[in-house]
Amino acid sequence: MKGNIRCKCQAMSDGMRYTLDMSPLLRMDALTWDNWNLEHIKKHDVTVGEILDVLDSVVDGQASYKGRYRVIGVTRQGRVLTIVVGRNPSHPTIWYVFSAHPASRKERAYFQQQLGSETL
């Protein structure tokens, strides 16, 4: 699957895994967390809750390198985040969060253009 995707999902917590239902274009049944990715997102001042907020909203995503996807979306507090996720090779509907950070000016402009929204 290459190119742009848009997805809508809902998140429900189940311990350290999160069940997600996304559009038919990109299916996520769960996110997995470990010490590395939790510490990594913390360095970027992003929380698991904010990642779930973004994935629970209309987001724009693009295929990235190594089979990963770059997803851009807005938290409930209005922060625009960029999240990089990749599939678990053993379980294609279980995804790993590689990175999450506040979206750059260029990423926000791209997101705004894709959704046709007002200034973020």
Q: What SS3 string covers the chain? A: CCCEEEECCEEEEECCEEEEECCCCCCCCEEECCHHHHHHHHHCCCCHHHHHHHHCCCEEEEECHHHEEEEEEECCCCCEEEEEEEEECCEEEEEEEEEEEECCHHHHHHHHHHHCCCCC
Closest CA to 48 of 5, 86, 8, 14: 14
pLDDT band at 14 (very low <50, low <70, confident <90, very high): very low
Q: Please tell me the pTM assigned to this model.
A: 0.73
What is the per-residue pLDDT across 85-112, written as a single tens digit (0 to 9) for each? 998 888 888 889 999 999 999 988 888 8
